[in-house]
Structure 1
Amino acid sequence: MWEELRDILEKRFKLRQVDFTYGDSLYGSIRLRDALANFFNNYFKPFSPVSPDNLLMGNGLLSLISQLGRALIDPGHGVLLAAPYYHGFDISFSVHSGVRVVGAPVPFEDMFTSKELDHLEKVLADSEAKGVPIRAVLLCNPQNPYGRCYPPELITAYCQFCERHNLHLISDEIYALSTFASDDLPNAVPFTSVLSLDLESLNVNPQRIHMVYGMSKDFDANGFRAGVLYTRNEMLLHSLLATSLFMLVGSPSAGLWYSLLSDQTLLNHFIQRNQTHLRESYEHMSAWLRFHNIPYLPSSAGHFIMVNFRPILADTDRYISQLRLSSEMDFWDREAALTAAFLANGVLVSHGQGFHMYEGGWMRFTFSLKREMVDVALDRIERALGWDRWPGGSPELSDYGPVN
């Protein structure tokens, strides 16, 4: 979508005099927060209307999450979340604030069910016993790296879990609108925002529920560095305001995001086109995986598929030369060898250990690149592993330069 987005923004981008100053608010651009409030009210189905006064901007979600960690959690205390999880959370919580990230390993069959919270309950008790008090829970919905949305009843259960244990809940909803149906999951669970819950009727204190969102994923603009926090906790907002100078969104990025959000017809078109492209790209890559008989976990949100290379890595006799495997290596070492082999052939793939997977041998494949780029990468993987070429790819590949 980047070319379409570029054309839209180049036509609509206009700078104002205030954009050449430090801006009109330490909470972030007033016009952008107004536009985001309307956006959340239109697309996230909040139980209570979102007000711009409940929003604070930051230059990306990692900055916002880092400052949330500083404000909510003392150094040495912990934030709890289900594993596997996005490795960026390790950095954002720990580097500046000294917050401990405590992952609760959850087998896939228990993810997105009430059993997920059973695992969190156990790890919560274990962490407390080890001297790391838990002060907050992070919920990534849609989930990264699994690419699934949480059902509303489980989001409710998360809120009640936090209320029961006197914890804050941070809901990371950055992939909220990057959802799609597919042949694998034609009736996938749709996205539900934590904003849509009637927290008072659930006996949950709204002051402890917070949501973060950004421009990076649904709007194909990682490099623009623009994110937003929603909270009804005024004390938290005042605490974050004290450090907001460290994470102000640049005026050009704020103006560009505003220009897209302020045109409802254009915004609807962009979101629908993006979801259509995501489905097409997912179907393309999943067809390649099926052709090569590689197991994967079907996804319906985000930009990626979790792929199970354990059967490949178990076949040491076949892949000993390509991957330098041996039967004595555990699956974490075999996963590292596979990652290195892909990289040597010019393909960067996120490996499962980086996401705290509960077993070695998994990879996260990103499918949301231009089709010819994806096909070049898949062709290189086939050559690296000595596989037959998939007939569904581009008939004539235009390679993107030499492999270093």
Structure 2
Amino acid sequence: MKKAMLAALAALFALTAPSAAEEAAMPADQPKWSIAIHGGAGTLDPDRMTPERRAAYEAALQEALDAGAKVLASGGSAMEAVKAAIIPMENSPLFNAGKGAVFTWEGRNELDASIMDGRDRSAGAVTGVTTIKNPILLADAVRTESEHVFLMGEGAEQFAATQGIETAPPEYFATEARREALERMKAEALSALDVDTKFGTVGAVALDMEGNLAAGTSTGGMTGKRWGRIGDAPVIGAGTYADNRSCAVSATGWGEYFIRVGVAQEICTRLRISSVEGKPDRGWSVHYPGVENWTTDDYAEFDAQMTADAVMAEVKQLGGDGGVILVTPEGHALFSFNTTGMYRGRADSSGMREVAIFGGDVEAGASNTPDH
């Protein structure tokens, strides 16, 4: 990570960190919750985004964010909030998950999803399903109703039938825009990256009032994928990971690189290892005046942001791009992406509610690191 980015983050935290008096006034035992969502990261050009299209995406993100936040605000679990947030995005043709998924080379919509509970690290995943309306629900059924973690294709759909999971015909998932992308790819001998201006994978991460974390991810993969290609979204540890000891992560991007880095678990593992009682001594006060006044919570947020940025830098160094969302046990909802944009949003029990799209829409505690 570049020193300039670290300095900017340090300055940000110096400005936004609560004073000692403010922190003392906050009820120590006040239950809190937090959620972050994404709808894909990629090459997004503000000049090509019409006001109408931007409004449509922002409304879709807000709907998903509100659905998850409602669950958490009413005392619901992180697992239920993750599913509640992902389902509206799977139902929206704007994203590459469920309805509106991209086409394979053969002209099919093949869907993947995964979900993980940070309490016990139970997980469920499915890949290559073609008739499941909401793959995130099937992934969760694998987690709770089978002895397995990962099911594929026909077998996964047979299992879905035993669980009463809602199905839909192939035409439900298909959209003309996605079909045109496949046709253009074939006609012009393009790569998936040439026809997909963004990775439309969707995901959510959450912390509930009981202090439990959860993560989920759902996708249609990459346009024109062949030979049963599987990306990171359904792979536990690459596209999805949750552990109450460290964080919950959902990823979106060029899956092959996220698998090679093991992005989701790598972030959580680094945070678990770096977790210590009190303020970690990393020599930060030498570089950032005022850092010595940060609270332990401030350090935790800064540490989480730097960790996510560092792992995304590794993805970039290998040649991949995309982004992640994460929530920490302290309730920090963060983003890190090395692309020009990422459809994203976050909310928490303090009243924060925000959605954003482009890299310039940098919120407090969110990092866009395209220069890595």
* TM-score above 0.5: no
More strand by share: 2
TM-score (norm 2): 0.31
TM-score where L is the length of structure 1? 0.29
Which is bigger in relative contact order (C-alpha 8 A, separation at least 6)? 2
